[in-house]
Amino acid sequence: MPTPPNRTPEDPAQGHPSVSAEALSISRFDTPTTARSPDRERTDLPRRLALTAVIALCSTGGFALGGMVGGALGLGTLATSFVGLLGALGLGALPLVAVRLVGSPAPQTDEVALRELLGEGSEACLWTWDPRSDEAWFSSRWGAAFGFTPEASSPVHSWSVRLHPADRGGFEEEVERVLSGESEHFEHVHRLLVRQDRHRWVRVRAAAYRDPEGQVTRLAGSVLDVTERHHAEAKLTHGAFHDPLTELPNRALFLDRVLHAIARARRDTSHRFAVLHMDLDRFAMVNDSLGHRQGDQLLIQLSRRLLACVRPGDTVARLAGDEFTLLLEPLENREQAEEVADRLSEALRPPFEVGGRSFVLTASFGIAMSGSNYVSAGEILRDADTAKNEAKSDGTGSTRLFDSQMHRDLLETVEMEGMLREALEQKHLRVEYQPIVDARTLVVTGYEALVRWTHPLRGGMQPSYFVPLAEKNGLIEEIGLYVLRESCEFLATWSDRRSMNVNLSPRQFKSESLVRDVAQVLADTGIEPELLRFELTETSVMDDEERSARIIRELRELGVRLCIDDFGTGYSSLLTLHRFPIDVLKIDKEFVHGMDTESPGIVRTIIDLGRSMGMQTVAEGVETEEQREILRELGCDRLQGFLFSRAVPSAIADDLASNPSWDVRALRDLSAG
């Protein structure tokens, strides 16, 4: 902490010398000579012993010489001894006089020379400081390294004006820790104003020497320019926490900021925030049409629009692909979060110009508001993602706010996924078969295989419920392979030539193992490949035409046939349809239910189209005699629907096929039983 200006270095209430932290680097230093260190005593001992020996030798020689002189003069014994004593004193004093005249090495001069030598040999700027006298020494490299030399007349001011204001507090705290005895070493990195009004990052290090009372008698250390290293580390840190494409915060940084927001909300219950999860609708089509490089340019433009819609304190992050998240804080209510979502939707309305083409994007938004139930950032992000998925199911450009019902639905979905996986592993799923009959003779010409599941607690589950669930969690490929094998094994038991239609989900159709799996099943069951017909939706085929063409070609090479299911409900074109070797067009039941004798509508068009292209037509959802008669007159080839039978187990399916020309009423009674 800063030293109070009204205290002096001798203030006993402070417990240690009270000096400004800036003085660490700018005062002058003189070696104190009032006390000799133990190291100095050990160094001087051999020299003292040698001097004593010389004095003793000289004294002995002087005494002998004096005795010889006294004897030569004929003096008495007493007088001769006196003359010898004078000789001893005279010669014994000569070494002391010589040492005095010649002089001995000055410890202070040696230390200054040593400091200067170390200063010249080091890349760092060296310094020492005596906090008692507020005097310091600096090596000569200061001027070359930083373009200035601390002023001897005003050292504190010359340093403090150069220390960056944002770093001054931390610097002074570190000095205080050393002076108070809390730490024996000092280290701090801060910015220093150097030549040409530029700040450089420097690292200051020092070690403390203390007297027996624990007071700091000297600090000695170095100052090193670490600007380049600091910038390199900052660049690495930035790359670790930011998306390289858009320069927005990435998932790691976003979760960290959300975690801090949760901590603030727990300390202050009035603090509210929101996490918004955004996902572009059908962005894959943009990548497919433009290529990923142009798609990346579109994402860069999008990130700039998002930043323009939020406040400076909010966070916009890119998680992956076309998924973006926002942290909005502080907020007063949920309406503010919904307003941000509305602004983002409006920001998407102007077309994006990429590669000379214009694109209009829409996005789905999920919002999760802060609450005491959130402990981790992952929890609230998960709930925002759940709300976003609900919004996508509502349609493009929708926004949903997460609520407790979504959470319950999510838990139920997780539970259902586990039970569905268990049902698949234990073969609790079963396959039933709905007849497909000749429109004129009503003879069963084939079946459509349909998967069924009876939940142990909830009873029979509609395929419309668990099939999309399996499609989402990836189980659909295993379920599809199970249905394929079961239906082909059933087909292998027939003696007559009836076909078997098996549905391929979009995910299963895109699987790289599909063709290999089909070939294996055909080999294992030994059925005629042309009796197996795969039903595909228009959407799955047209989603990636090049890939679809390759897979369809490989399936046809195996000998199997292909049907377009629910024809007329997708977005295929006649030109695209010509590219694929399709054998059958299945007319969606909605078209069948909407036709009448006066206006058969699109059904006639599909039947005529199929006939002109050499394709067979099958009408689904036939439920009345009138519908059957209209379809027969229009020239439809095959019929399928509740008028004939629901999907039934394999044993009943065999019974239905055994009557080659049933009447409709009898068949309806059989199915009801």
So what's the pLDDT on residue 58?
A: 67
Tokens of 299: 């994402």
d(CA 139, CA 209): 19
Cis peptide before 330 (omega within 30 of 0): yes
Quick one: CA torsion of 56, 59, 61, 62, rounded to 10 degrees?
170
pLDDT tens-digit series, residues 391-424: 987 777 889 999 878 878 777 778 888 888 888 8
What is the phi/psi pair of residue 282, to 5°?
A: 55, 35
- DSSP at 452: E
The pair of three-digit structure tokens given for residue 475, joined into one six-digit string: 């189980």
What pTM value is reported for the model?
0.52
Integer Cα distance of 337 and 324 in angstroms? 15
Beta-strand pair 499-503/444-455: parallel
Whether the Cβ atoms of residue 391 and residue 366 lie closer than 8 Å to each other? yes
Give the CA angle between residues 657, 661, 663 to the nearest 5°.
105
pLDDT of residue 119: 60
Which CA distances in Å does 244 have to 230, 249, 284? Answer: 20, 9, 20
Residue 234 CA: distances (Å) to CA of 164, 229, 241, 391, 661 = 18, 8, 11, 39, 82
Q: Which residues contact 435 (CB under 8 A, 6 or more apart)?
A: 444, 446, 447, 640, 644, 645, 653, 656, 657
Question: At 453, is the secondary structure helix, strand, or coil?
Answer: strand
> pLDDT, tens digit, for every residue of 556-572?
999 999 998 877 665 55
User: How far is 214 from 361, CA to CA, in rounded Å?
Assistant: 70
- Output the CA torsion 647→651→654→656 (10° steps): -50
- Residue from 169, 226, 638 nearest 446 by CA: 638
Our CA angle for 68, 74, 78, nearest 5°, is 75
Q: Which two tokens stand for residue 226?
A: 């670490």
* Secondary structure (DSSP) of 296-324: HHHHHHHHHHHHTTS-TTSEEEEEETTEE
Domains and CATH numbers, the chain: 1-241 (3.30.450.20), 246-402 (3.30.70.270), 414-672 (3.20.20.450)
Give CA–CA dist 368/583, Å, rounded: 49
Return phi, psi of residue 185, to 5°: -130, 150
Determine the pLDDT at residue 1.
Answer: 37
The one-letter amino acid at 213: E
pLDDT for 338: 93
Q: Report the pLDDT value the prediction gives residue 235, as an integer from 0 to 100.
A: 77
- How far is it, in rounded angstroms, from Cα 344 to Cα 366? 12
What is the spatial distance between Cα 635 and Cα 648, in angstroms, rounded to a whole number? Answer: 27
Which pLDDT value is given to residue 42? 53
User: Tokens 């189980």 correspond to what residue?
Assistant: 475
**Per-position DSSP letters for 388-449, written without gaps between them:** HHHHHHH-TT-EEE--HHHHHHHHHHHHHHHHHHHHHHTT--EEEEEEEEETTT--EEEEEE
User: Given the DSSP bridges, would you call strands 216-225 and 198-210 parallel, antiparallel or unpaired?
Assistant: antiparallel
Instruction: Detail the DSSP E strand segments found in 303-381.
Output: 315-320, 323-328, 352-354, 357-359, 363-369
pLDDT lower than 70: segments of the chain: 1-51, 53-59, 61-67, 69-123, 149-160, 196-197, 288-289, 568-577, 597-599, 659-673
From residue 280, give the alpha-carbon distance in Å to each of 318, 320, 334, 521. Answer: 12, 12, 22, 39
